[in-house]
Structure 1
């Protein structure tokens, strides 16, 4: 299995490398498909997903589940999960913090993760068991850290937003986090938050989104680096999880304690 995964990782890397020039060429592409609530896709999203899906299927035999066109269910079997442009708002605005995300999922668990950041010249890749490679060079495993010394990636929110994780709760989490670590970063890209957690640039990442194409690649990277990945409730992450809490050992425990304390305060205020 390790040899097979290594071969698949090489193929996937080649496919993303071939698409990188087109990705860079399209930076600044305007919105083409309105997906609602401030979300959209560019024509490059559609083009890249078609191109990458075709090549991956032809070269590996596995189907692709993409953000724009969907695909097979992911709780069983083997399939690629693709986000052709992560950080689409950044990409469309000409901001360099955007990338291509790709994971291979087997029975609902990511076993390969690739995060390509062409605007930054960075390529992160890993298979189950590690190590994480940055531009082909292995990175050291994550060491135990404390929250007070770590930068934390934090997901976007609207304080008035409702939904699964209300905006006010996200706002309260941000406030609590600011007291424990004054180094909070909002990159506008889940892929960057998770890749930088895997590489040790960030100590952890708080991700409110649940889409597998946003999360699977980064989860694979963080796990391969020796990090801890759960949802925001502390349950082991799987492809159906509604959020991601990924961090270095030590930092994850502190973040989870902070989230639980914030939730307890919110429940107490409701009861009053």
Structure 2
């Protein structure tokens, strides 16, 4: 536990580098990496600066970033850092203040340290495995909501690129089902926001019809440590190998999973 607490301090210091760059820098170059999926020179600078910091602070631990990939991993280390330098790049480019820096320390197939910063909102989240989750030093707890009709549920971005049309038919069907069952549906455009706000009780559920490790790893740990339930659409515990991500306050987890499963079965 002492080692994880130390590594959490390192992670928080690393994420502050990205936080300051987001708050003080606007993008000048927007580059297409796939159909309507972009990155900026700010994403790259944050990733490089955090990579450099972590290489000095924890030289024994490898690193993988969303924009420039993997550094050499020490074969003797059970850990690797995983970074999404700007989760919500499209929001950042357009000046929408919903984006964040997301850093996870991954051990095998599980996250043991997760840190998320939402720079424009001055909200800074962190968690360690079995150590609880916190925002700005305050302990987090998922909501007590027990009814879908009283729930706010976030849904992840619609698909881009190959097979987007087919994938989005299912997502649109899911949005329609949610619209008829929950109090409100929200799309924040950032998995970091979805999972951190689930942990904080600002929302009651979050559905991401994909499982991108660098986008989700930190948030999954933070939400779990706050008491949220994170599942695959199979109903099994969510892992790095899961196809989908269904995250919810305990009181609505079964209901939300049933809604997702029903929608998937109808659309296949």
Fold match by TM threshold 0.5: yes
Match of 2:121, SS state, is: coil
Match of 1:170, SS state, is: helix
Question: Pairwise mapping of residues 245-256 of structure 1 onto structure 2 (< 5 A)?
Answer: 245-256=246-257
Partner of 1:41: 39
Tell me the alpha carbon deviations over residues 87-146 of structure 1, each in whole angstroms, 9 at most, x when there is no partner: 000001111100100011101101111110011110011111242111122223553532
Partner of 1:270: none
Q: Which moved more, 1:185-194 or 1:224-233?
A: 224-233
5+ residue gaps, structure 2, are none
User: Which stretches of structure 1, 4 residues or longer, exceed 4 Å deviation after superposition?
Assistant: 158-161
Are the aligned partners of 2:43 and 2:86 in contact in 1 as well (CA < 8 Å)? yes
Aligned match for 1:58, one of 44, 56, 59: 56
Partner of 1:190: 191
Cα root mean square deviation, aligned: 2.3
The whole-number CA distance in structure 1 between the counterparts of 2:221 and 2:167 is 27
Aligned positions, number: 264
Match of 1:80, SS state, is: strand
The whole-number CA distance in structure 2 between the counterparts of 1:41 and 1:130 is 34
Cα distance 1:143–1:164, how it changes in 2: closer, same or farther (>3 A)?
A: farther
The whole-number CA distance in structure 1 between the counterparts of 2:167 and 2:16 is 38
Cα distance 1:71–1:119, how it changes in 2: closer, same or farther (>3 A)?
A: same
5+ residue gaps, structure 1, are 268-272
Partner of 1:104: 105
Give the TM-score, by structure 2 length: 0.91
Match of 1:250, SS state, is: helix
Cα distance 1:236–1:36, how it changes in 2: closer, same or farther (>3 A)?
A: same
Give the TM-score, by structure 1 length: 0.90
2:120 aligned with 1:122: no
Q: Which moved more, 1:138-147 or 1:183-192?
A: 138-147
The whole-number CA distance in structure 2 between the counterparts of 1:11 and 1:159 is 34
